[in-house]
């Protein structure tokens, strides 16, 4: 089968490599144009472009489907096009080019979480299960008929980055199986069923932690936006980036002078107001709308990510600390 591969970020690279290893004839790789990266904003090729170059594959770079690009694709004799997180809309004229259409690998169990950030929204919502779906691309937003689905358990401690890393590999296997099945005439697409949900891109404003929310909601939000765009809060008007947090499930309020067997046996966890910080032993606790959470790492403005305990011990000289 002669195919086009379209993709841009790192999560699309395992699919490209898997298709090449499976023996597909990759006529070309379509990716977005070079973009500035890092603090110095130096132009660099996308991860997919770099992987394609290493594999010796022709690379096409475009952020939108121009008539010239569509005409060129039409000269490649494509049986199908595989697309994984390309980051652009394929217009009807482009959809019509490959004989078997465009097969999209999407990182959710459709019709759940249609859109640009399916894994982030699954983590934010506290879903028990996530997965990946292959479907035929059409004009609607992730609405096309489904070829195949794989699922996995979504652990409460998992960040979006960790989940995407796993799904990028298991989803690559699903994509290879789907295209192989289409080539052999063994696979057909069936319409999506169930109630759809939408997963628009999460912004930097979405990544701000609201400490008045319950601990479980705070954890989900932090995990959902890790690593991108990155959870954050403020202290004294200064922004701090936060790493994953761990809820404290048992809270015992110890009053001054309290004694007795019950107090001695129970973990001494102070009651904290939302956003209030307290160093307890080797843990840095932050109050939420319910139980406190334990901070693992954080990054003050202009500095590298560091241990929350090291930061808190240094910041304690400023007196009472309360995240805003």
- Give the list of residues 6+ apart from residue 205 with CB closer than 8 angstroms, or none: none
- pLDDT over 60 at 257, yes or no: no
Write b or e for each residue in 238-258: b if 16 or more Cβ atoms lie within 10 A of its Cβ, otherwise e: eebbbbbbebbeebeeeeeee
pLDDT in tens, 43-88: 999 999 999 999 999 999 999 999 999 999 999 999 999 999 999 9
Would you state the structure tokens that stand for residue 37, as one six-digit string? 């990266």
Q: How confident is the model at residue 268 (pLDDT cuts 50, 70, 90)?
A: low
Where do the domains of the chain lie, and which CATH numbers do they carry? Answer: 2-184 (3.40.50.170), 215-318 (3.10.25.10)
State the Cα–Cα distance between residues 295 and 276, nearest whole angstrom: 12
Task: Tell me what pLDDT residue 264 has.
Answer: 45
pLDDT in tens, 143-200: 999 999 999 999 999 999 999 999 999 999 999 999 999 999 999 999 999 999 999 9
Between the alpha carbon of residue 319 and those of residues 13, 152, 212, 236, 315, the distances in Å are: 48, 46, 22, 12, 8
- pLDDT over 90 at 41, yes or no: no
What does the mean pLDDT of the chain come to?
92
Would you state the structure tokens that stand for residue 12, as one six-digit string? 């699309």
- pLDDT over 50 at 258, yes or no: no
Between the alpha carbon of residue 117 and those of residues 36, 123, 197, 200, 324, the distances in Å are: 21, 10, 11, 6, 27
Q: Facing residues of 297 across strands?
A: 307
pLDDT in tens, 280-299: 888 999 999 999 999 999 99
CA–chain centroid gap for 153, Å, is 15
State the Cα–Cα distance between residues 175 and 23, nearest whole angstrom: 13
* Cβ 246 vs Cβ 219: under 8 Å: yes
pLDDT in tens, 99-120: 999 999 999 999 999 999 999 9
């Amino acid at each position: 089968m002669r195919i086009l591969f379209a993709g841009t970020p790192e999560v699309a690279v395992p699919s490209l490599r898997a298709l090449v290893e499976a023996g597909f004839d990759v006529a070309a790789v379509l990716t977005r144009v070079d973009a500035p990266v890092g603090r110095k904003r130096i132009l660099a090729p996308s991860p997919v472009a770099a992987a394609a170059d290493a594999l010796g594959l022709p690379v096409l770079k475009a952020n939108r489907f121009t008539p010239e690009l569509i005409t060129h694709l039409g000269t490649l004799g494509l049986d199908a096009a595989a697309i994984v997180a390309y980051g652009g809309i394929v217009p009807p004229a482009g959809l019509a080019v490959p004989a078997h259409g465009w097969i999209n690998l999407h990182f959710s169990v459709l019709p759940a979480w249609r859109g640009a950030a399916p894994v982030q929204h699954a983590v934010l919502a506290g879903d028990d299960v996530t997965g990946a779906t292959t479907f035929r691309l059409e004009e609607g937003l992730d609405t096309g008929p489904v070829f195949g689905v794989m699922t996995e358990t979504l652990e409460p401690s998992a960040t979006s980055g960790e989940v995407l890393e796993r799904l990028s590999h298991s989803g690559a296997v699903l994509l290879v199986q789907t295209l192989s099945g289409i080539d052999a005439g063994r696979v057909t697409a069936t319409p999506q069923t169930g109630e759809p949900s939408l997963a628009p891109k999460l912004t930097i404003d979405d990544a701000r932690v609201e400490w008045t929310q319950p601990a479980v909601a705070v954890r989900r939000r932090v995990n959902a936006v890790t690593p991108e765009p990155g959870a954050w809060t403020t202290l004294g008007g200064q922004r701090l980036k936060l790493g994953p947090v761990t809820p404290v499930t048992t809270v015992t309020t110890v009053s001054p002078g309290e004694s007795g067997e019950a107090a001695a046996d129970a973990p001494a966890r102070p009651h904290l107001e939302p956003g209030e910080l307290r160093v307890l032993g080797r843990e840095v606790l932050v109050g939420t709308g319910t139980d406190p959470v334990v901070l693992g790492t954080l990054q003050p403005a202009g500095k590298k990510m560091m241990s929350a305990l090291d930061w808190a011990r240094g910041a304690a000289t400023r007196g009472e600390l309360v995240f805003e």
